Amino acid sequence: MLTGGCLCGEVRYAAQGEPINVRVCHCRLCQRAIGAAFNARALYAVEAVSVSGPVGTAHSSEGLKRGFCTQCGTTIFSKREALGIMGLTSGSMDDPSGFAPSDHIWVSSKQPWLKLDDGLPQYAEGPPA
């Protein structure tokens, strides 16, 4: 089980089972929403995740809702309700050391100072279908 929460501890989550995938996204939407150079996240089916606490949401693009703690502002997840999936941010995980990404997506928007030398596949935009 994967557990995590926000900086102030008011929001907590638990995800059951294995993630659908684990990726690092370098798109500009994720950069702005996370406030960092990329969004490292583990993707789960919505029904596999339980979230408690004061969660606010905002649509960052059509069909994508981002969840954050209304008390401290920590970004917790991104959710595509129509697809029934949500990505949990690695920074909000209780033990992010277990996080092992499989690839990098949207590297066409990667910050030029960031060097990716981990040997993982890199896709200019989204991953191949």
Domain around 61? 2-109
The CATH number of the domain holding residue 82 is 2.170.150.70
Residue 21 lies in a domain: yes
pLDDT tens digits, one per residue of 61-110: 889 999 999 999 999 999 999 999 999 999 999 999 988 899 999 999 99
Average pLDDT over residues 18-32: 95
Q: Is residue 10 part of a domain?
A: yes
Residue 14 falls inside a structural domain: yes
Residue 34 covered by a domain:
yes
Task: Among 28-32, 50-54, 67-71, name the one with the lowest average pLDDT.
Answer: 28-32
Query: Does 52 fall in a domain?
Result: yes
pLDDT at 39 over 90: yes
DSSP assignment of the chain: -EEEE-SSSS-EEEE-S--SEEEEE--HHHHHHHTSS-EEEEEEEGGGEEEES-EEEEEEETTEEEEEETTT--EEEEEETTTTEEEEEGGGBS-GGG----EEE-GGG--TT----S---B-SSSPP-
In a domain, 47, yes or no: yes
Domain count, the chain: 1
